Amino acid sequence: MMTDAFIGLGSNLKEPAAQLARAVAELASLPDCTLVAQSPFYASRPVGPQDQPDFVNGAVWLSTGLSPHQLLDQLQAIERAHGRERLRHWGPRTLDLDILLFGNQVLNDERLTVPHRELANRDFALQPLLDLKPDLHLPDGKTIAELRRHCPDNRLRKLPPADYP
């Protein structure tokens, strides 16, 4: 059985747009996964510590036969391959991959929370989701469009396609 999974991507180190572009290609080649669509990339100021570069963010829509935890393991392996280090909460990173939504599942364990716990506060995650699927909603029925209307402003700026490979 295949499930629609929506993955948020972010980077603010070592050519962030290129990091995301490579990650999209790697996500498309994951076992038992098909890339349905990729959002445009956006620049935004960092959440948390402001003594770091702006982020580049986007999202992908995967159709996957993996379980949420199997997918998480694959995402973390891609992050490690990109040199991801977890040195500071909300600190700079070469690549951050988050499961934002996984079908209509609700999960909350020591490794994974789905829907992503900060989704409603992240315009840089909500807008790419709207680009991918304008009628997308949370398992509780709230629409991504409604969350986006009430989301704090993070100075989101859509990047022209020429700015990323």
Q: Catalytic positions, please? A: 84, 93, 96, 98
Q: How far apart are CA 30 and CA 148, in angstroms?
A: 29
CA–CA distances in Å: residue 58 to residues 75, 110, 142: 15, 25, 21
* Under 8 Å between Cβ of 142 and 115: no
* Under 8 Å between Cβ of 98 and 116: yes
Residue 130 region by backbone torsions, left for phi larger than 0, else alpha for psi between -120 and 50, else beta: alpha
Collapsed DSSP state (helix, strand, coil) of residue 53: coil
Q: How far apart are CA 73 and CA 31, in angstroms?
A: 12
User: Which residue is listed with tokens 């997918």?
Assistant: 71
**Cα angle vertex 10, ends 9, 16, to 5°?**
120
Q: Identify the helix (H) or strand (E) that includes residue 128.
A: helix 123-132
